[in-house]
């Protein structure tokens, strides 16, 4: 079978990333992409399967497009004199290819599942430039200002579509030859059902799924602030979080075509890492443009469930098509351990890196923890008060000391408190 197909979809997405950050003394920016619409115009080639030809497998290829809103704002730490931002609406064009399968439900209706890839190439857009600021006592000194220029932006999409199709000109209530007249073909063998249960059915089971994903939490400014809301103060980025989960599901159908369904599941995440980025932060009497620390161990757990009720508008042998409404709840907990300074104040050899390396274990202050023993130490706190004693947060901002750290068994001292600030300690079980 040969054909031509065109489609358009509204889209709602949001992704942010640190951009134009070339060094620890550079004032970079936050770049945000917000896709708003996509579409394709393609040729489609398919082959009908089965004795009746009701199943179609197909491939498609052609032209794809997308409309994207791109926002940029300098991470200026609330300094209005340095504020720089822009917003642009950009149209991307490129190629697309996909594969799918379509199942005819009745002469008028069919259901399809399709995967598409849109490779939309690169567009050149205006950026916000950047600045270099060298920390000094009392702040930092701007040494280089790069004016706004042009940057390349690439946009690609991977889409999974589920569609219900109607064939124009065909009676929407038409049935295949041989189907029961006066209504949908029966999906259950009512004659063999026990007395009083005719038309009722139940199905249930369990399933496993694995996934890999990322999560980013930005801390910026309020909408009424003169600073753009996407201008970041800090960003927590969990990446490569691999989740293994299982769930139980069930569905009850009634003789009135009403149904109730639901599922509940849970699992664990691991093998991830956390990057903690900070922008224009004060430390030791100076102002540091950029800091980045890595927590190489990140894990967590996930729990979720849903309950729905609905009505089947179409039923037939082997299929049901209906509408439903319900309630869904998701709870995800993520935590990170470790302190590896990558850039900024935390990477200085005399203060951050050496002190952090010296305390890469679970001391009784809970600082710079990364080893498995650290998890046991922190989790041993059975109450919130005990946990605060083991894993305290330091609200003060002492100058970074270069004194030699004291042994882990001795009471906390000023250099160790300074080390804790340099290593950016966080509670052992932060909930995002």
Per the DSSP assignment, residues forming a β-bridge with 332 are 302
Pairing relationship of beta strands 15-19 and 55-74 according to DSSP bridges = unpaired
Per the DSSP assignment, residues forming a β-bridge with 162 are 113
| pLDDT score, position 314 | 81
**What pLDDT digit, counting tens, does each position of 316-338 carry?**
777 788 899 999 999 999 999 88
Query: What's the alpha-carbon Rg for the chain, to the nearest Å?
Result: 29
Q: Distance between CA 144 and CA 80 in Å, rounded?
A: 18
Helix (H, G, I), strand (E, B) or coil at 6: strand
DSSP assignment, residue 84? -
Residue 308 or 316, more confident: 308
Q: Is the pLDDT of residue 276 over 80?
A: yes
Task: Go through the chain and tell me how many residues it has.
Answer: 432
Q: Is the pLDDT of residue 232 over 60?
A: yes
Average pLDDT on 419-431 reads: 35
Give the least confident one: 49-58, 166-175, 221-230, 399-408.
Answer: 399-408
Q: Which of 116-125, 163-172, 335-344 has the highest mean pLDDT?
A: 116-125
Residue spans of the domains in the chain: they are 2-175+199-340, 348-422
Place of tokens 């980013």: 216
Q: Distance between CA 232 and CA 75 in Å, rounded?
A: 5
Average pLDDT on 269-294 reads: 86
Average pLDDT, the chain: 76
Q: Is the pLDDT of residue 94 over 90?
A: yes
Per the DSSP assignment, residues forming a β-bridge with 39 are 8, 65
Overall pTM > 0.85:
no
DSSP assignment, residue 284? T
Three-point CA angle 189, 193, 195, nearest 5°: 145
For the chain, what percent of residues have pLDDT higher than 70? Answer: 74
Q: What are phi and psi of 358, to 5 degrees?
A: -70, -25
What is the biggest distance separating any 2 CA atoms in the chain, rounded to whole angstroms?
Answer: 89
Would you say 230 and 16 are in contact if contact means Cβ atoms under 8 Å apart?
Answer: yes
Q: Distance between CA 185 and CA 107 in Å, rounded?
A: 13
DSSP assignment, residue 127? -
The two tokens of residue 170 are: 């065909």
Confidence of residue 194 (pLDDT cuts 50, 70, 90): low
Confidence of residue 179 (pLDDT cuts 50, 70, 90): low
Task: Report the candidate in 300, 377, 293 with the shortest Cα–Cα distance to residue 338.
Answer: 293
């Amino acid at each position: 079978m040969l054909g031509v197909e065109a489609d358009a979809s509204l889209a709602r997405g949001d992704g942010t990333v640190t951009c134009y950050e070339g060094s620890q003394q550079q004032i970079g920016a936050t770049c945000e992409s917000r896709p708003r619409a996509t579409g394709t115009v393609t040729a489609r080639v398919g082959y009908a399967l089965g004795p009746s030809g009701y199943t179609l497998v197909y491939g498609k290829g052609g032209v794809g497009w997308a409309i994207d809103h791109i926002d940029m704002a300098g991470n200026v730490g609330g300094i209005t004199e340095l504020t720089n931002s822009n917003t642009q609406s950009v149209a991307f064009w490129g190629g697309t290819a996909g594969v799918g399968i379509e199942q005819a439900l009745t002469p008028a209706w069919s259901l399809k599942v399709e995967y598409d890839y849109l490779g939309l190439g690169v567009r050149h857009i205006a950026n916000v430039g950047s600045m270099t600021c060298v920390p000094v006592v009392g702040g930092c000194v701007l040494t280089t200002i790069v004016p706004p220029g042009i940057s390349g932006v690439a946009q690609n999409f991977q889409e999974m579509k589920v569609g219900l199709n109607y064939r124009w000109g065909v009676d929407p209530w038409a049935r295949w030859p041989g189907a029961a007249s006066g209504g949908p073909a029966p999906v259950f063998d009512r004659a063999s059902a026990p007395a009083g249960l005719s038309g009722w059915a139940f199905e249930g089971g369990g399933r496993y799924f694995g996934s890999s994903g990322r999560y980013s939490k930005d801390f910026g400014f309020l909408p009424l602030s003169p600073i753009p809301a996407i201008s970041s103060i800090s960003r927590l980025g969990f990446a490569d979080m691999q989740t293994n989960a299982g769930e139980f599901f069930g569905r009850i159908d009634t003789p009135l075509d009403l149904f109730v369904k639901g599922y509940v599941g849970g699992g664990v995440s691991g093998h991830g890492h956390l990057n903690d980025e900070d922008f224009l932060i004060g430390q030791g009497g100076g102002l540091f443009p950029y800091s980045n620390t890595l927590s190489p161990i990140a894990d967590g757990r996930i729990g979720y469930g849903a309950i729905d009720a609905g009505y089947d508008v179409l039923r037939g042998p082997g299929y049901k098509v209906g509408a439903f409404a319900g309630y869904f709840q998701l709870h995800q907990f993520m935590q990170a351990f470790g302190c590896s300074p990558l850039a900024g104040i935390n990477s200085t050899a005399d203060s951050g890196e050496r002190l952090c390396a010296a305390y890469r274990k679970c001391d009784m202050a809970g600082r710079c923890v990364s080893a498995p023993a650290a998890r046991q130490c922190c989790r041993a706190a059975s109450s919130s008060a005990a946990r605060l004693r083991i894993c305290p947060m330091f609200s003060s901002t002492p100058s970074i000391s270069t004194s030699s750290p004291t042994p882990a068994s001795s009471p906390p001292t000023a250099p160790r408190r300074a080390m804790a600030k340099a290593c950016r300690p966080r509670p052992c079980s932060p909930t995002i």
